A and B are shown apart, each in its own frame.
Chain A
Amino acid sequence: MTTEVRREVIYRHSGAVRVTHWVNVVCLLVLLMSGLQIFNAHPALYFGAKSTFDDPVMAMRAMKQGEQIVGLTTVAGWHIDTTDLFGLAYAPDGDYEVRGFPWSVTLPGHRDLSTGRRWHFFFAWLFVINGLIYLIYSFVSGHLTRDLAPSGSELKHIGASIWEHLRLRFPQGEEAKRYNVLQKLAYLFVALVLLPLMLATGLAMSPGMDAGYPFLLDFFGGRQSARAIHFIAASGIVLFVVVHLVMVLISGVWNNLRSMVTGRYVIKLPEG
């Protein structure tokens, strides 16, 4: 079977999108890893203004179970044995260590809250500046309305798009020149909801900002709620990145990567 295919190279991503994308990749990686270091200083979450130490919403602890010490993760009253992963895990020197997340995913690897905070706040600034550049560019250039806002008909046919994604069939030809509706919604949700939420909940944890802008506390239901939401939103971003990477891998990894580096994306169109 020899169906003639015409290759068309389109310019998919503008320079501003490409640069801010990769700066964001670095920022989110450092923010996540240093954020887990900071979380490890008190690996428990609460809702409300204050910490109710004996009743956390989520906690990673080491606990005695009979003769043994196990890593125990508590989520909303459920206890899960997470030895070797959360609560109790091997340190690089081979000794068991009581800590929330293991050394392999924190920055720095060893327990060091002050250095974790320095990484976190430096890259938080970089993330904010980069994010502002992206958002201003997206509004002014029309990237937001042209490439990201789904049309009414796209939203109406969202069911079909979900079904095609589940069968791992991706738009081809002309259709592939644009983001599909699920992509648009996912990117919009991350850029306009999740990432700004990370900043807002981060600021709501600042005692200085809470004094100047007390609505931050009211909006999120207290400082400890803001901290929990910060963690949950970060988990949402991790989930997005996982799905995003899988999609990049299975929908033409080199084409996708090239388009986010050089801007050029190859579309295969039927000859004719």
Chain B
Amino acid sequence: MSAKPKVDRRGFLARGLAIAGASLLGGCDSELSEQPWVKRILDSAEALTRVTQRALISPTALAREYSEADISKEFKANGSTDPDDEGYKAHAANGFADWKLKVGGLVGQPLELSLPDLRAMPARTQITRHDCVEGWSCIGKWTGVPLKALLDKAGIQPSARYIVFYCADDLGQIGDDSGKYYESVGLQDAFHPQTILAYEMNGAALPIPHGAPLRLRVERQLGYKMAKYVMRIEAVDGIAGIHGGRGGFWEDLGYEWYAGI
């Protein structure tokens, strides 16, 4: 997010026609999507979308909040629904009584906070729509501590650009790494008033399928940004060196880092 991406309209049109021509010649097959140059060209739209949406949407604009009556009777739990991690299972077995959230990285004061510690902090409750990248939406009520309050408490350093969330769940091996879920957001989303670390869903303790003990809510982006089973938070100045370098588990598999659409 530091360097401004170059978006050249004429170049964009020309490149579009180039791939279009190639896709017709190639019979629109799947091989074409695997070509590095095609990937590079298609990827350029992400920067254009991010820059345009950032320009068009006020940083303080709130996602719509719904009423109790709108809450989904069946809220789909996607991705991991019961992490297969020994440490996590032990925490789950005793109701996360010994569990602590670690906050570190580029902060003045690293923190370790238990669930009662988090509950003692300022809380926000919001009934919002969860939009999955697959296309479905569910509405749920979330209560949690605003990420801003945590970052203020830890004293985020000026050099920090991203907040990274490390999770307990494992969705399969990717690259050289463990396959553990992780996510990251920029500071605009980190400090957004609706960005919370939720420990309650629909008025009860957050259930395991939905990310117990703590899940992230980033209400102006798609569901895969909202990491479940958050164990550790780190403030960093860049995401290139973390796992696949694209800022998240799904991002490393090809999904957009900016998931506002």
Q: Is A80 an interface residue (CB 8 A)?
A: no
Q: Is B170 an interface residue (CB 8 A)?
A: no
The bracket for how many chain A residues form the interface is: 35 or more
A118–B260 touching, CB < 8 Å: no
Q: Is B57 an interface residue (CB 8 A)?
A: yes
> Contacts A38-B135, A49-B137, A118-B43 known; A206 to B72 CB distance under 8 Å?
no
Which residues of chain A have C-beta atoms less than 8 A from B53's C-beta? Answer: 206, 208-209, 212
Which residues of chain A have C-beta atoms less than 8 A from B260's C-beta? Answer: 206-209
- A121 to B, closest residue via Cβ: B45
> Contacts A118-B43, A123-B16 known; A51 to B57 CB distance under 8 Å?
no
Min C-beta distance of B63 to chain A, whole Å: 4
> Contacts A130-B13, A214-B64 known; A51 to B44 CB distance under 8 Å?
no
The interface bits of chain A over 98-129 (1 if a CB of B lies within 8 angstroms of the residue's CB, else 0) are 00000000011110111101110111111001
Min C-beta distance of A136 to chain B, whole Å: 13
Q: Is A148 an interface residue (CB 8 A)?
A: no
The bracket for how many chain B residues form the interface is: 35 or more
Partner of A49, one of B9, B43, B129: B129
A109–B20 touching, CB < 8 Å: no
Contacts from A to B (Cβ < 8 Å): 23, 26-27, 30, 33, 38-39, 41-42, 44, 46, 49-51, 53-54, 107-110, 112-115, 117-119, 121-126, 129-130, 203, 205-214, 217, 223-224, 227
19 A-B residue pairs with Cβ-Cβ distance under 8 Å, sorted by A, are A23-B16, A23-B17, A33-B28, A50-B129, A51-B76, A51-B136, A109-B29, A112-B30, A113-B134, A114-B254, A114-B256, A115-B42, A118-B42, A122-B16, A125-B45, A129-B13, A203-B261, A208-B260, A210-B63
